A and B are shown apart, each in its own frame.
Chain A
Amino acid sequence: MNIITGQIADFLKNYAPFNQLTADELTEIANNIRVVNLEKKQTLFKINDSLHDSFYVVASGVINISVIVDAEENIIDKCHEGNIFGLRPFFAKNNYKVTAKAREESLVYAIPIAVFKPLLANNSEVLNFLLENFASNLPEDRSSKGNLVSDGFYSEKQSEVQFFQTLAYNTTPLLATSDNTAQEVAQLMAESLKNNVIIFEKNGPIGIVTHADLASKIATGRYPINTPVSNIMSSPVVTVLENVSLAEAQLLMLKNNVTHLCVTVDGTDKSTIKGVISEHDLIAAQASNPGVLIKEIKRSLSPNELKEIRHRLTNLIQSSIQKNIPLTHITNISSEINFAILKRAVELSILELGSPPARYVWLSIGSQGRKEQLLLTDQDSILVFEDVPQNKYIEVKDYFLKLGKKTTETLEKIGYELCPFGHMASNMLWCKSLSDWIKQYNNWMNATRENTDNLSSIFFDYELVIGEQKIESAINNIVFENANNNSLFFDFLGNDALRKNSPLSFFKKFIVEEEGVNKDKFDIKTRALMPLIDSARLLILSHDIKGINNTYTRFKQLAIADPKHSEVYLNCAEAYLFLTKIRTLEGLKNENSGQYINLEELSKIDREKLKNALIPMKELEELIKDTFQLTQFS
């Protein structure tokens, strides 16, 4: 055996489905591999190419899988190290329906189908894995893509997928015996936040109690709450085999008119209970729609589950943008989901640390606070807790710091990077009592000149994630009270807004980065978005408009409140939307925050549009200079 063969086999061993093969099988595969080098943007195969005799594993780099829809290339999957792709030759005879192109310099291993196929025969798990992987290279929402590509390809696979798709379900169901009382069972359900309990005898399940049973039989008073559970359970319970498919489970539920299926070892009610499938599991298996995502977030128990959901949200955003759903809708939905994730992250910490010793509020600040977060950017948050007696203060603060720390860690695991400036509730400075916060805001706003070092404008965009609404209102009142005719403070904000470098040169050319890794790219965040965001905040504070955090809606509101300049505001609102869209697309394409735009990759039309979107900024700038007569700081 060649040493390189050994190294390739070791590499493959780390990834599904190869981890299910024996060492000998892996060596056999590694021995037959061809190593292919792809330069940046080099195409491995494209739509309608005849099938290769191998499928591929990414050894290093990233391969984009894309389809052409309406003459536009849409990336439907990104394959990273260890991912497999190009599985079509396994399952079909006609030509490729997708294009595989290297996003960066990449190395892929080509595994000949002829070598791999014999292994499938005696390894059904590997086959299932390949099938699922083959199917997951498709956009989630198939019905809406009524075009040739999807017709020929997706529909053909969909039934197959449904047939093979196994369900993820609860494998540790709640169990009770028939002599438990209804109250005990209800207690059990309440404690573990589940809506069903399997009632068992000896080894087999004999019935199930769900929320519906409790509502219709106990809450109505038909049975007392200490009645044995056998009186109120639904019996018999419908049982199924372990590896039931999605389609099958759906049929069984419809046929028996039930909402839960009990999984047992041999599929009868005389064997060991393995788990319970609920309607929710079926829905979750079918699609990522916002409702399902939120529901799943509320039930998830670990950062990993949340991470998975956040990933699906990214897909949802991507497909929504491609379907030209208005960006305002997408932002609304995605911020709802983001908030649900944030909330759940705090809840998970509370579950671990125990109930909080005082009332508190967790506020998102910055882009999350403005509900403008489409991409995974960094996390910014603050925590305010109610004032407690001096002797308890340290204990309480300690608890909330721990809560902050735990939650930010969880969020980091999910994929929200830690704020590089430490603007997080885990920071001593930004986790304090209400009176301390009031002092802080007073300081910032009334003695702006002395307190500029730790003042960041993001503290003036906040939104409640979880906790006491009243505390947020208290902060709100302080901010607006202080803002009233506070010219010094507006001066600061105004200069802060205008300080950012202008996006276009005197000759209406984009000003791009001059050095660094992002050389020749356009910094859309600092040069275009931030000035708009900062200006909107300043104007909204000065107009005393409360409760609107979103930059787009802020401009819309301003147009109403200040009709004289409504045209400028409306232009800015539109410009803001367009800039966000460009940034989001760039971010999705490169899996980063999309801060730097590669102008050369934009189409000529988009480039012109981008330029036009920057023009209202100039007018807005003039407006701000006029209104606040910026002098003191400048």
Chain B
Amino acid sequence: MLDWLKHINKDHPEFWKEYLAKFSKNSKRYVILATESTGDSLEKDVITYISAFAVENDAISIKDSFETILLQYRFLHDNHLSNEYIIESRLLKLSEPEALKTFVEYLGNGIIVGHQIEKDMTMINATLERLECGKLRNEALDIAIMHRKLHEIPEDKNFSLDELSDYYKIQKPEGESVTEKAYKIALLFLKLKHKLGLK
């Protein structure tokens, strides 16, 4: 709690202050999040794709969704990679600071839900740090943990997204994109939420 108070004098960007202000209220909105990164290293690797759907009143809202490609020119250049595919796709493309800003605005004080959400969160936090912001303050839920809770399975057992989908008989989406992953997590979350009796 005191952590962010200490930093409040530090000059955070404007959007970050607005973000923090939102936490004066509790949220009933869940934000189902899936990201794609170039790797696991917090220093070297970067986020390339963020996709999210909101769940409110036990329903996935298709409109209340977020999807963007992050243009990581520097990363691509440093690693001698081509950006041909990214340039050609019709999706929304933003630079890293822009993307994070819009995402944080979209996220607000919603409760984050994901699969192996720790990874996503640390990656996002690392990126935010580069933008001179603090860490995300949202609550986060992991569907694999929810599944373990529901069936009282020991902690050390891990479940891949495919295993969970098979278990709860979620229809396989057509492709493998991050957005489809987020949608799949959202469907799983609806089922788990009902079964666990979460409000």
A residues bordering B, Cβ < 8 Å?
A: 2-5, 7-8, 30-37, 39, 42, 60, 105, 107, 110
Contact = CB atoms under 8 A, between A and B. Distances in A.
B59 A35 contact: yes
B62 A33 contact: yes
B173 A31 contact: no
Nearest to B192: A37
A32 B194 contact: no
B62 A3 contact: no
A39 B191 contact: yes
A35 B190 CA distance: 10
B154 interface: no
Interface in B30-64: 53, 58-63
Interface residues of B, number: 24
Nearest to B56: A34
B177 A3 contact: yes
Contact of A42 (B65, B187, B194): B194
Contacts of A110: 59
Interface in B73-108: none
B59 A105 contact: no
A34 B61 contact: yes
A32 B60 CA distance: 10
Given A2-B67, A107-B187, A7 B173 contact: yes
Given A3-B180, A4-B179, A7-B173, A34 B195 contact: no
B194 A39 contact: yes
Given A7-B173, A107-B187, A37 B62 contact: no
Given A4-B180, A7-B173, A30 B194 contact: no
Given A5-B62, A34-B59, A37-B194, 5 more contacts: A4-B180, A7-B173, A7-B174, A36-B190, A37-B187
A3 B59 contact: no
A476 to B, nearest CB: 52
A351 B173 CA distance: 46
A34 B169 contact: no
Interface string B8-33: 00000000000000000000000000
Given A30-B62, A110-B59, A35 B179 contact: no
A105 B191 CA distance: 9
A32 B195 contact: no
Nearest to B187: A37
Q: Is the interface of A mostly helix, strand, loop or mixed?
A: mixed
Nearest to B175: A3
26 contacts: A2-B62, A2-B65, A2-B67, A2-B179, A3-B177, A3-B180, A4-B53, A4-B62, A4-B65, A4-B183, A7-B173, A31-B62, A31-B63, A34-B59, A35-B59, A35-B60, A35-B190, A36-B58, A37-B187, A37-B190, A37-B191, A37-B194, A39-B191, A39-B195, A60-B171, A107-B187
A340 B182 CA distance: 53
Contacts of A32: 62-63
A118 B173 CA distance: 31
B186 interface: yes
Given A35-B187, A37-B187, A8 B177 contact: no
Contacts of B174: 7
Contact of B186 (A2, A8, A31, A35): A35
A37 B63 CA distance: 17
Contacts of B65: 2, 4
A111 to B, nearest CB: 11
A32 B67 CA distance: 16
Q: Is the interface of B mostly helix, strand, loop or mixed?
A: mixed
Interface in B158-175: 169, 171, 173-175
B115 to A, nearest CB: 17
For A4, A32, A34, A42, the residue with the greatest tally of chain B CB atoms inside 10 Å of its CB is A4
B59 to A, nearest CB: 4
B169 A35 contact: no
Contacts of B171: 60
A360 B175 CA distance: 57
A432 B64 CA distance: 68
A557 B53 CA distance: 69
Contact of A35 (B62, B173, B177, B195): B62
A3 B67 CA distance: 10
Contact of B179 (A3, A36, A39, A60): A3
For B63, B67, B186, B190, the residue with the greatest tally of chain A CB atoms inside 10 Å of its CB is B63
A37 B177 contact: no
B62 A8 contact: yes
Contact of B60 (A3, A34, A105): A34
A536 to B, nearest CB: 43
Nearest to A107: B187
Contacts of A35: 59-60, 62, 186-187, 190
Nearest to B177: A3
Nearest to A34: B59
A35 B60 CA distance: 5
A2 B195 CA distance: 29
For A7, A8, A30, the residue with the greatest tally of chain B CB atoms inside 10 Å of its CB is A7
A37 B186 CA distance: 10
A40 to B, nearest CB: 11
A33 B63 CA distance: 7
Contacts of B194: 37, 39, 42
A31 to B, nearest CB: 5
A34 B62 contact: yes
A37 B195 contact: no
B36 to A, nearest CB: 14
Contacts of A31: 62-63
Contacts of A42: 194
B169 A105 contact: yes
Contacts of A8: 62
A67 B65 CA distance: 37
A586 to B, nearest CB: 24
A36 B183 CA distance: 12
Ranked nearest first, the 5 interchain pairs of A and B with the lowest CB-CB distance are A37-B190, A34-B59, A35-B60, A36-B59, A3-B179
Nearest to A59: B171
Contacts of B61: 34
Nearest to B194: A39
B34 to A, nearest CB: 12
Contacts of A33: 62
A60 B171 CA distance: 9
Contacts of A34: 59-62
A31 B62 CA distance: 6
Contacts of A39: 191, 194-195
A43 to B, nearest CB: 12
For A3, A39, A60, the residue with the greatest tally of chain B CB atoms inside 10 Å of its CB is A3
A107 B174 CA distance: 17
Contacts of B195: 39
A49 to B, nearest CB: 14
Nearest to A110: B59
A33 B53 CA distance: 12
A232 B195 CA distance: 75
A587 to B, nearest CB: 25
B147 to A, nearest CB: 15
